[in-house]
Amino acid sequence: MKNVEDKLSIITKACEDKKGIDIKTLDISKLTTIADYFVIVSGNSSTQAQSIADEIEGKLVEEGYDIISKDGYQSGRWILLDFGDIIIHIFHKEEREYYNLERLWTGDIKDN
C-alpha cells in the first residue's frame, strides 16, 4: 500500500484528467477523526461530476484501495467518495458555491 501522499496524488491526477475545476486538498486531521483529508473538486455538469467520480474510484481501486462508501452519484450534484483517510467531494459547480465546504473547514488548505 502507498502512503497518503501517493493516494492524494492519484486523486489529483484523476481530477485533472477529467478536467476537474478548482481542486482543493484540506488537511482536517487536527479538526476531526472522520478523515485526515478532504479533497474538493467541481465539474461543470452532473455528467462531468460523475465522470470525475468514476475516474477517481477506478484509479484508486486499480491501486488496491477499497471504497468504504459512495453517495450522491445518481444526481451528480454532490458526490461523496469515502476512502477512509480521504473523503472526496465532487460537486456540480453551483452546489459547491452554495455549500462552500472550504469555509466550513478551517484546516490547512493547499492548492493543487
pLDDT digits (tens, 9 = 90+) for 50-90: 999 999 999 999 999 999 999 999 999 999 999 999 999 99
The answer to whether residue 55 is domain-embedded is: yes
- pLDDT for 107 equals 43
The whole domain housing 82 covers: 4-100
User: DSSP for 11-54?
Assistant: HHHHHHHTT-EEEEEEE-TTT-SS-SEEEEEEESSHHHHHHHHH
Number of domains comprising the chain? 1
CATH of the domain at 15: 3.30.460.10
